[in-house]
């Protein structure tokens, strides 16, 4: 009964206090919070950025907090991030937490799972020659999704949420790019099927995406649980190896991954689950990133004019009319410094991943200012670049404000020098992580977002329904997962330019 529970809690509390007291010398300040075992879990889950800001004021830029039975050491000094992200994997491990999320959210358990083997196999499929193939396929699929429907109804003004529009276009085109299309050569019918099927994948995926923070924290209601189960089941069917086997123009990323799963003896059911996990890992961030970018442009006419001016210049120099261009070559993509700055600035304001590492052995963490702290085996290390460098007023004046040219030098090239404490920063924004585990899809993702923005600005009229609409607040439960999402969508209208 209750008294017993209280007794249990009391014992736990005493044990924790005891453990707290016997933290060893040289360890960061420890903050257990007031609830035994849970510690700061509730506050952390509700709004991690506010909580960590409060802790930073109290303890400085390194401290340890208790969160749901785990000791988490939080490091917020960007000058010291590099030692962490480049530390050897035998000391700070990236994968333990990823494996935990894999199981809890996506029900994936892989036989003989070796993250390093998997990564060695997959890495080349997102870079170099394969990157070019992905980028070209993405352009063609974006065109199918955005411009393919030439019916009368698709020609007039359409109303939609901007997040829905951006997320749906990028995920659908991204899905077709990685998982393959209906048929080759493409016909009007096969492209119509690509549009319908990818829309089905998006709508199903999005329902799971909305449940994700609760799934990760294990806080689903009974009704949510049912819903999550049904949605997962449906996604496993949509992405089953049997269905994928019939698709054309599959990426080498997909080919390599399926082959790897086969070779490690993964059952068909488990393969389908892994495919859904990968859909989220590869497609969960591009859409929200494009949403914020377009919203900042729509709310900042000067920025929009600067980007459009840059695109017009590019188009006037192009050898053929854009409507005939079946690819947007890397050379063209690489000559959009204004759009690059807009993208960097959007990501600075809205990318908030946790960079987490498991402490595998007791180790000393040297800080850039000369201090050194002991980390204990079994603890978790957490960097949160969203607070610093990205929102740090010492590095960025008016850090809350979108300034489209923040990442442009006066000569129009990319600005790369940012300072804190008088010292130049190596990591001044970290939407892609950094070090050994920096995002492998970074180049492909940047190309894709730029292609999407290019197509939208060149081919569409796009307007806020209410020009005075405020930029929505974040859904605060999503800190840590990557790109933030808005608390609610922003209505827009759009039409293909007549």
Cβ of residue 178: shortest distance to ligand HEM, in angstroms? 6
Selection from 337, 490, 315 nearest residue 406 by Cα: 337
Report yes or no: 342 and 296 within 8 Å, Cβ to Cβ. Answer: yes
104 is in an annotated binding site: yes
Tell me whether residue 32 or residue 343 sits nearer to ligand HEM (CB atom): 343
Tell me whether residue 235 or residue 347 sits nearer to ligand HEM (CB atom): 347
Tell me whether residue 71 or residue 354 sits nearer to ligand HEM (CB atom): 354
Report yes or no: 462 and 494 within 8 Å, Cβ to Cβ. Answer: yes
Cβ of residue 155: shortest distance to ligand HEM, in angstroms? 31
Q: How far apart are CA 238 and CA 86, in angstroms?
A: 38
Tell me the CB-side half-sphere exposure of residue 467, using CA atoms within 13 A.
Answer: 4
Cβ of residue 145: shortest distance to ligand HEM, in angstroms? 16
φ and ψ of 358, to 5 deg: -85, 135
Tell me whether residue 250 or residue 493 sits nearer to ligand HEM (CB atom): 250
Residue 366: other Cβ atoms inside 10 A? 12
The DSSP output letter for 35 is B
Mapping DSSP to helix (H, G, I), strand (E, B) and coil, where does residue 145 land? Answer: helix
Paired sense of beta strands 70-75 and 423-424, if any? unpaired
Contacts of 115 (CB under 8 A, 6+ apart): 94, 95, 98, 99
439 is in an annotated binding site: yes
Q: Which two tokens stand for residue 173?
A: 């085109």
Selection from 360, 357, 414, 349 nearest residue 386 by Cα: 349
Tell me whether residue 180 or residue 433 sits nearer to ligand HEM (CB atom): 433
Q: How far apart are CA 466 and CA 450, in angstroms?
A: 25
Cβ of residue 461: shortest distance to ligand HEM, in angstroms? 26
Selection from 343, 380, 374, 344 nearest residue 359 by Cα: 380
Distances (CA, A) of 82 to 31, 63, 482: 25, 18, 19
380 is in an annotated binding site: yes
Tell me whether residue 338 or residue 445 sits nearer to ligand HEM (CB atom): 445
Cβ of residue 442: shortest distance to ligand HEM, in angstroms? 7
Question: Closest CB to ligand HEM belongs to which residue?
Answer: 441
Cβ of residue 368: shortest distance to ligand HEM, in angstroms? 19
Residues that bind ligand HEM (CB under 6 A): 119, 126, 282, 285-286, 289, 351, 353, 355, 431-433, 437-441, 444-445, 482-483
Tell me whether residue 166 or residue 282 sits nearer to ligand HEM (CB atom): 282
Cβ of residue 467: shortest distance to ligand HEM, in angstroms? 27
As annotated, the binding site for heme includes 439
As annotated, the binding site for substrate includes 104, 110, 285, 380
As annotated, the binding site includes 104, 110, 285, 380, 439
């Amino acid at each position: 009964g209750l008294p017993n529970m209280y007794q249990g809690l009391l014992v736990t509390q005493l044990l924790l206090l005891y453990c707290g007291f016997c933290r060893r010398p040289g360890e960061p300040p420890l903050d257990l919070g007031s609830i035994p075992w849970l510690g700061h879990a509730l506050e952390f889950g509700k709004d991690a950025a506010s909580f960590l800001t409060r802790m930073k004021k109290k303890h400085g830029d390194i401290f340890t907090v208790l969160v749901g039975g785990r000791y988490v050491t939080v490091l917020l000094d960007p000058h010291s991030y590099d030692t962490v992200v480049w530390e050897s994997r035998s000391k700070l491990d990236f994968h333990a937490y990823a494996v935990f999320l894999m199981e809890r959210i996506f029900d994936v358990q892989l036989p003989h799972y070796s993250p390093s083997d998997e990564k060695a196999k997959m890495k080349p499929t997102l870079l170099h020659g394969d990157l070019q193939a992905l980028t070209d396929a993405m352009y063609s699929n974006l065109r199918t999704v955005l411009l393919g429907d030439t019916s009368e109804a698709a020609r007039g003004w359409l109303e939609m949420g901007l997040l829905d529009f951006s997320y749906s276009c990028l995920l659908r085109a991204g899905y077709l790019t990685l998982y393959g299309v209906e048929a080759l050569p493409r016909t009007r019918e096969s492209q119509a099927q690509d549009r319908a099927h990818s829309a089905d994948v998006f709508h199903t995926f999005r329902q799971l995406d909305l449940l994700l923070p609760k799934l990760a924290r294990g806080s689903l209601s009974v009704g949510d649980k049912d819903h999550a189960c049904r949605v997962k089941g449906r996604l496993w069917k949509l992405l089953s190896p049997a269905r994928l086997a019939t698709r054309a123009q599959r990426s080498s990323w997909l080919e390599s991954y399926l082959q790897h799963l086969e070779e490690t003896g993964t059952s068909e059911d488990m393969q389908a689950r892994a495919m859904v996990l990968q859909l989220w890992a590869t497609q969960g961030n591009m859409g929200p990133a494009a949403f914020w970018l377009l919203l900042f442009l729509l709310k900042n006419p000067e920025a929009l004019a600067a980007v459009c001016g840059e695109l017009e210049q590019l188009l006037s120099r192009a050898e053929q009319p854009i409507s005939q261009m079946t690819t947007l070559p890397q050379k063209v993509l690489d000559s959009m410094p204004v759009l690059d700055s807009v993208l960097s600035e959007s990501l600075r304001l809205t990318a908030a991943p946790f960079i987490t590492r498991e402490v595998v052995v007791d180790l000393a963490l040297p800080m850039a200012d000369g201090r050194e702290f002991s980390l204990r085996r079994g603890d978790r290390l957490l960097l949160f670049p969203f607070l610093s460098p990205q929102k740090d007023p010492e590095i960025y004046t008016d850090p809350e404000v979108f300034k489209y040219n923040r990442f442009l030098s006066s000569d129009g090239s990319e600005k790369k020098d940012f300072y804190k404490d008088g010292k130049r920063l190596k990591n001044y924004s970290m939407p892609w992580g950094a070090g050994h585990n920096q995002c492998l899809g970074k180049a492909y993702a940047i190309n894709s977002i730029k292609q999407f923005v290019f197509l939208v600005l060149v081919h569409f009229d796009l307007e806020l329904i209410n020009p005075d609409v405020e930029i929505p607040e974040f859904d605060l439960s999503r800190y840590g997962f990557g790109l933030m999402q808005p608390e609610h969508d922003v209505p827009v209208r759009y039409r293909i330019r007549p």
